[in-house]
Structures are given as C-alpha cells and as structure tokens.
Amino acid sequence: MGKKHVIQKSEEEMIKEGEQLEKTLGKEQKVAKAAASREGKIYIFSSYNNTILTLTDAMGNALASKSAGKLGFKGTKKSTPFAASKVAETVGQIAEKMGIKKIGIVVKGIGSGRESALRSFANQGFEINSIKDITPIPHNGCKPKKPRRL
C-alpha cells in the first residue's frame, strides 16, 4: 500500500458542501411531512415479464419503488403471482415504517401479479380507499396495412 493522502478543503468548498446538504435535507423534510399525512398511493404495474410497485405520497411524489427483479426473482419467476405478493409485502413494510395507514391503489397492466399484490395489501391491514384500473385499452386498433399491389 502507498502513502495515504490527506485532502484539505478550502473554506469555499466546505460552504458549497454545506449548502448542498441543506438542500437535500429540505427535500427529505418535505417528503416526511407528506408521509406524515398517513395517506399514500401505490401504483402496481404488472406486465407479462415483471411486476413493479411504486409507493407515493398523496401529492404523487415517489417514496419507494420495488420490483420482482430487485428482490432476486429471475426469468419467468418474475411474472408469477408469488413474486408479486412478495414485492407487495416489502412495499407494505416500507409504507408502515413511513407511517402510511390509508392507501389508494392504481393498477396498470395485464400480468398475473395484479390480484395477488392487491390481496397482499389487504392482508397486511392497510385501509384501502380506492382501487383504480388505468390499463390502456385500444378502442379501434392500428391502421391496417395498404393492400399489396402485384
């Protein structure tokens, strides 16, 4: 090992770091105040390949996000209802730590993890205010191709 270098910072650099810390602390305090209202929303996005859950406060600021892939599920196991329920459990634990009691659930997608994630939140004891489905539905489809000319 070589010599250890001691880095000395000037007063200007120290002041800049202090200002940056104050900015980040201000943001955290705003998030904490919003979480203190004890209401939040959970967005469930369930595709054929994965299930992603995002916890937000009442104003829509993201507080936490988890997916089946982040929890260690790989390949086709990510899209199972079991993986979705495990993701919902971890997001529920995060919400409890933040003090959120009432949740509104917004569901999007056509994967197999939608219902199991919903059941998991109900079993954890959250007060569910609303369940909203915002899955996009095509109402006329794409424009068909032109007929082939020979």
Does any domain span residue 25? no
Does any domain span residue 72? yes
Tell me if 42 sits within 8 A of 106, measured CB to CB.
Answer: yes
Does any domain span residue 90? yes
Does any domain span residue 109? yes
Type of residue numbered 94: I
Does any domain span residue 47? yes
Which domain, by its residues, includes 123? 38-133
pLDDT of residue 13: 74
The Cα 44–Cα 53 span in angstroms is: 5
Does any domain span residue 68? yes
Widest pairwise Cα distance in the chain: 79
The end-to-end CA distance of the chain, in Å, is 76
Which token pair is 43? 């967005």
Q: What is the β-pairing status of strands 39-46 and 102-109?
A: parallel
Ranges of the chain with pLDDT below 50: 35
The Cα 103–Cα 92 span in angstroms is: 10
pTM recorded for the entire structure: 0.71
Does any domain span residue 141? no
pLDDT of residue 72: 93
Q: What is the CATH number of the domain that holds 73?
A: 3.30.420.80
The Cα 63–Cα 42 span in angstroms is: 10
pLDDT of residue 27: 55
pLDDT of residue 24: 64
Q: In 3-state terms, what secondary structure has residue 150?
A: coil
- Total domains in the chain come to 1
pLDDT of residue 1: 53
pLDDT of residue 8: 67
